[in-house]
A and B are shown apart, each in its own frame.
Chain A
Amino acid sequence: MTIEEKDHKDQRLAPQQQLLEDEDIEVVSPFRDAVRQLRKNRMAVAGFSVIVFFILLGIFGPLFTPYTYDGQVLTNRLLPPSAENWLGTDDVGRDLFTRVAYGARISLMVGFFAVTGALFFGTILGVISGYYGRWIDMLISRIFDILLAFPSILLAIAIVAILGPSLQNALIAIAIINIPIFGRLVRSKVISLREEEFVMAARAQGMKNGRIVMHHILPNSLAPIIVQATLGFGTAILEAAALGFLGLGAKAPKPEWGKMLADSRDFIQLAPWTLIVPGLSIMLVVLGFNLIGDGLRDALDPKMKN
């Protein structure tokens, strides 16, 4: 081969190589792609930072204070924020920073377990309903309709009225009211995927229903479920705080944010910080999850890609 010929060949190869290199860059998993999209979204990053802050506050916050969440010092009642009590004290002299930090643990845990529970049962019911159809679909869908026909907080109150007021029962109630939301979502995804060619191919290969659901249907319905779970996290925290505020959730001296608000409402003029701090915490955490949820929705939606 002469040099000229070789050059010519290289030139012919070049665009192809270029293409290969481009593909190398473009081949990223949908997950990494979503993360990349999300990192570009400033609002989502802000929301993420807020949540990380509260997680760190919940884990490490109590290590930074010499107080316990239920340690009452009656001589220190309703002190304004100071070097000793960073966020002030409440009506029985408990340190507010310590209580808010422990409260972060409670709220995030309630959100986590309520969403996980609702997600677990909602997914099972949604898959059964969407995949098997017929009478079982009719039955499950009607139950979802009925549960969604109640205003959610009212249904939660009814469930707590049955089970008795406690943090655990509030958590159960919040999980139950969120089941139909996840259930319906999963059902609609399963129904649209059930008729897809790759599912039919799997079936033709003799794959069992359980495997088809676990390996083909669920992984492909993940995007909207993740978005809903993130948004649901915020809602669950808000609902838990509402139940706590009504005295149907956490019991004293547990520093649940909603309960803290209810306990301090008489001191609003005397010591506004006792209300501002827990209320602002609830709002920020919920806002954080809403921002991440909105960001995820945009990141996972193929239509939004530029």
Chain B
Amino acid sequence: MLIPVLFGMTLITFSIVHLIPGNPAQVILGETATQEAINNLEENMGLNKPYFVQYGIYIQDLLQGDLGTSLRSKTDIAQEIWPYIAATLELTFFAMIFAVFVGTNAGIISAWKQNSLFDYVAMLIALVGVSMPIFWLGLMEQWVFSQELGWLPATGRENSRDPIEPITYFYVLDALLQLDFSRAITVLKHLILPSIALGTIPMAIIARMTRSSMLEVMKSDYIRTVEAKGAGQFIIVYKHALKNAVIPVLTVIGLQTGVLLGGAILTETIFGWPGIGRYVFDAISFRDYPVIQSGILVVAFFFVIINLIVDLLYTYIDPRIKY
């Protein structure tokens, strides 16, 4: 299943250039381009060859790890793309931690204390959170927490006057590897606002899913048995009920990771986060189609991989599921 989908994805990203109305080379170079420049670009990008040959070359290049050359920076995309990917993955990771931690716990407590004040407030927040335009939430966060209160930095990944020596380009990890705790804290502070903005919708969805899943499990016979054994409420909820309630939640988490990768584009625009979304978005205004193609393909690739990992996690959590 994975291989055909991946191939289909390459077909779509390949088509991005070829579906441009009119002559792609002309569109890329703009109205004033000379015929010679157009011919040169067609030659460079191989646009003058038949489609099948072009697609064959495209796949061959991809399999060799060649993502093409950026028209703007003239460098290999495969070489320059990693810092952007790392920035997005780091942001997505922290947003997911926020979403999962807050979402599941809010859902669990809401189900545990059903119809309490906490339940109502948490579900109201979840309801609003699902409908939240994240770009607006991000702007409001910046206004309140960095401009008015001055607690947290509004943009960027680090203090630009005191940059981190990159190793993996995951800045928190890099700072920790260098045992540079003050820089690690600076990076974490930069992560807080964008992670919350990005994580809010998944948090809300996870909270609602956890609550309904927990309510269902809490009614089952085995929970009554555990209660009859005299186990404490905390143990019942967190040890026994959660185990069975977590499977539908896991599906949602997998699906939401894709939403996060997409939403990262918006969050990165607001918080000046130098991630892959920003990279693709900037490429659009420069009509840098190779970057657009490769950027989108890389994000979609990570999305597919994450969903695969979630599928594999099922078998670990629920041994009844076999592939």
Contact = CB atoms under 8 A, between A and B. Distances in A.
B210 interface: no
B284 A268 contact: no
B133 A268 contact: no
Interface of A: 142-143, 145-147, 149-155, 157-158, 160-164, 234, 238, 241-242, 245-248, 258, 261, 265, 268-269, 272, 275-276, 279, 282-284, 286-287, 290-291
Contact of B142 (A142, A241, A242, A268): A268
Contacts of A152: 259, 262
B128 A162 contact: no
Contacts of A163: 21
A145 B5 CA distance: 7
B25 interface: no
Closest 6 CB pairs of A and B: A151-B262, A146-B8, A279-B136, A287-B131, A286-B131, A153-B262
Given A158-B16, A162-B16, A268-B139, A149 B133 contact: no
B217 interface: no
Q: Is the interface of B mostly helix, strand, loop or mixed?
A: helix
13 contacts: A150-B9, A150-B303, A153-B262, A154-B296, A155-B296, A157-B296, A163-B21, A238-B133, A268-B139, A269-B147, A272-B143, A279-B139, A287-B127
B29 interface: no
Contacts of A268: 139, 142-143, 147
Nearest to A257: B133
A169 B289 CA distance: 18
Q: Is the interface of A mostly helix, strand, loop or mixed?
A: helix
A297 B12 CA distance: 34
Contacts of A155: 296
Contact of B292 (A143, A153, A161): A161
B130 interface: yes
Interface string B269-313: 110000000001100110001001000100110011000000000
Given A163-B21, A283-B133, A286-B133, A261 B300 contact: no
B261 A290 contact: no
